[in-house]
Structure 1
Amino acid sequence: MAAPFLSIQHVKKSFGDNTVVQDFNLDVEPGEFVSFLGPSGCGKTTVLRMVAGFEEPTAGKIFIAGKDVTNLKPNQRNIGMVFQAYALFPNLTVAQNIAFGLKVAGASKADQDKRVAEMLNIIKLPQLGDRYPYQLSGGQQQRVALARALAPSPKLLLLDEPLSALDAKVRVSLRDEIRSIQKRLGITTIFVTHDQEEALSISDRIVVMYGGVAEQVATPFEIYNRPSTKFVANFVGTLNVLEGTVVDPALGKVRVNNDEIAVKHSLNGAKRGDAVSLALRPEAMALGDYSGHDTELHGKITDVHFLGSVIRVRVNLGAETIALDTFNNSRTPPPTIGDSTKVTFASNDVLVLH
């Protein structure tokens, strides 16, 4: 197996008595796109800034392409950085902004012009080289910021919430373009975001952070379907959490309200009578019998929300209320509020939260 391109080893960062990153470890493969996902204050941007060289670790080491860069300045690390604020030079044209890093590096005017033309084509703004930043939309400005970061051919691209200042439609379009450009260039990339949809849609792997700790590092599929902690399960996607009591730990049987269900995942050493938290995604459940569903709960429909292609139904089970999603079918009327119902699901889809 090839050596990791970026290796963050036992990194810690404290500001006085406040520790914001605790024993952080991560290996990133060449060409991999890894997202740091978490709420504000979880430490994700601090880790990115330590990789960039803007912050010095309190402890630990950082290696890029096998070289220890822990104590090197940002301009000695051969990285490209894109910030939330576009940070373009207002007195320079688009072409001059893109060429800035090349000019500082001493590239000839011919090489600068050639590379700028290449980058303008990559970001799909070939005719806008002579414009100034104020003449561009927010999405166009962020494309230019990306081109400026990529122009000097950095080894590593760091993106610090680059889409958060844009409206929703532009964000979706631009995140797809960023991923496409990243794949085309094959550049190793770290992307910081608090938006779970962004992270799930474009990442090879996601690092979910909370309280300065990496709660889970896994593929988007694993993060969503097999969260390893209660925080990850609750933070990523919509989740129903059911409180139950262990009836038979050997057989995985748990009582939820007036129903007894079996779960396939480990109860992690729980004993009979112990309280346990179970979780189900809305899309894992159905009203009534459904192929492959071997488990059921009983309750009463309390709310029905028509969302177009999906109908979200809320069902009261007694002690708690759950939400489930069913596809809209024009030939079938939606469920009726007040009706008693059976909610079914596969026992293998029940997550046991620890």
Structure 2
Amino acid sequence: MGFLDISNLQKSFGATQVVKDFNLSVEKGEFISFLGPSGCGKTTTLRMVAGFEVPSAGTIRIDGRDVVRLRPNQRNIGMVFQSYALFPNLTVADNVGFGLRVAGVPRTDRAERVAEMLAIVGLADFGARYPFQLSGGQQQRVALARALAVRPQVLLLDEPLSALDAKIRVSLREEIRAIQRKLGITTIYVTHDQEEALSMSDRIVVMNNGVADQVGAPFDIYNRPATRFVASFVGTLNLLDVRVVDAGAGTVSLGGTTVPLGRQLRGDKVTLALRPEAVGLAPSDGRTLGVEGRIAEVHFLGSVIRIRVRVGDARISLDTFNSADHPPPQVGDPATVWLNPRDLMVLAD
């Protein structure tokens, strides 16, 4: 049993079932991300853990205690919202100390705790300011400090960086992860941004249509997706529908080239997944299988050039680094795509 255990959790709104038999065990101090598209049930699941939604079925245990029937303020949970939810008429220090004041913490102890939290989030000199005097990133730091001030057992973050620009998001997600590690607090982080989930998490829960399609470490989620949805949602991916040549021997035909997959297959056709970084336009020690094609698209993305090669009925995307001395190929040029058959993943439906 983990520190936070969610068992057979379900939630319906009328006839619509938003969360379907969700199960997860989280260890103390672990950082978990719920990753998925809008409407997949990730925020609803988070809100049930927080106590803002009542489950239709299932249990939620924190440190062995069932909290389903407890109000949000009885669960010892810290919540950081996407919209910051700061009180505009209170100073930064008063916002951070609000939960402590409600809990009846003496003024002196409260002031010490607020000062400690503002120092942790890098806003030690901002206590006398008001929210309108802060940037978006600073306001989110205040919201984080407020959530941590009450010493919660579990910290919940609902897409806290989605309203910020890209550069600030990268900086702030690093700060959030560093603070979480320093305090050792059990954390659930909701996001639709795969880069955030991959870079911050101990484990990722990829949610799809109310269920967890896959739970695993970022490395495994990216390199060993369990379903077609996970493979296509996490990272850029080539999805190749190919004809099976010999199911027993595990060979398929890709653009007229027979490719050995090293595993038995079923049916006449299978879907293969291939990451762009696993493909090149030149052979290497690992990429020894060449498949003939023709350049279909070239997209200049700055430091990276994304190229799509037409191979039979399929198109394979690959990435190359930009070099001022080597211009990219032109659309219509013949090309050989080089790959290692071991990098081809056979996807489940």
- Secondary structure of the residue that 1:75 maps to in structure 2? helix
Which residue number in structure 1 is paired with residue 287 of structure 2? Answer: 293
Give the C-alpha shift of residue 298 in structure 1: 1.2
Query: Aligned partners of 2:14 and 2:243: how far apart in 1?
Result: 44
- Secondary structure of the residue that 1:102 maps to in structure 2? helix
Task: Return the letter of the residue paired with 2:284.
Answer: Y
For 2:210, which of 209, 212, 221 is the aligned residue?
212
- Secondary structure of the residue that 1:173 maps to in structure 2? helix
Which residue number in structure 1 is paired with residue 224 of structure 2? Answer: 226
Write the deviation string for residues 62-115 of structure 1: whole angstroms up to 9, x where unpaired.
100111111111111100000111111111100000011111111111101101
Give the C-alpha shift of residue 170 in structure 1: 1.1
Write the deviation string for residues 270-307 of structure 1: whole angstroms up to 9, x where unpaired.
04xx1111111110001131211233321001222232
Matches within 5 A, 1:88-107: 88-107=86-105
For 1:12, which of 10, 13, 21 is the aligned residue?
10
Query: Aligned partners of 1:196 and 1:227: how far apart in 2?
Result: 14
Q: Does 1:281 align with 2:275?
A: yes
Which residue number in structure 2 is paired with residue 345 of structure 1? Answer: 339
Give the C-alpha shift of residue 258 in structure 1: 1.4
Query: Aligned partners of 1:170 and 1:332: how far apart in 2?
Result: 33
Q: CA separation of 1:239/1:34 partners in 2, compared to 1, >3 Å: closer, same or farther?
A: same
Cα contact 2:249–2:263 (8 A) shared by 1: no
Runs of 4+ in 1 over 6 A off after TM superposition: none
**Alpha-carbon RMSD:** 1.2
Query: Aligned partners of 1:144 and 1:18: how far apart in 2?
Result: 36
Give the C-alpha shift of residue 259 in structure 1: 1.6
Cα contact 1:265–1:351 (8 A) shared by 2: no
Give the C-alpha shift of residue 126 in structure 1: 0.8
Cα contact 2:248–2:264 (8 A) shared by 1: no
Q: CA separation of 1:265/1:189 partners in 2, compared to 1, >3 Å: closer, same or farther?
A: farther
Matches within 5 A, 1:194-205: 194-205=192-203
TM score, norm. by length of structure 1? 0.96
- Secondary structure of the residue that 2:336 maps to in structure 1? strand
Write the deviation string for residues 127-166 of structure 1: whole angstroms up to 9, x where unpaired.
1100011111111111000000000100000001111111
Unaligned runs of 5+ in 2: none
Give the C-alpha shift of residue 266 in structure 1: 5.4
Write the deviation string for residues 291-331 of structure 1: whole angstroms up to 9, x where unpaired.
11233321001222232332211111121222101223444
Aligned residues, how many? 348
TM score, norm. by length of structure 2? 0.97
Cα contact 1:265–1:348 (8 A) shared by 2: no
Query: Aligned partners of 2:332 and 2:284: how far apart in 1?
Result: 22
Q: Does 1:75 align with 2:73?
A: yes
Which residue number in structure 2 is paired with residue 152 of structure 1? Answer: 150
Q: Does 1:239 align with 2:237?
A: yes
Greater CA drift, 204-213 or 258-267? 258-267
Q: Does 1:334 align with 2:334?
A: no
Cα contact 1:78–1:154 (8 A) shared by 2: yes
Cα contact 2:255–2:292 (8 A) shared by 1: no
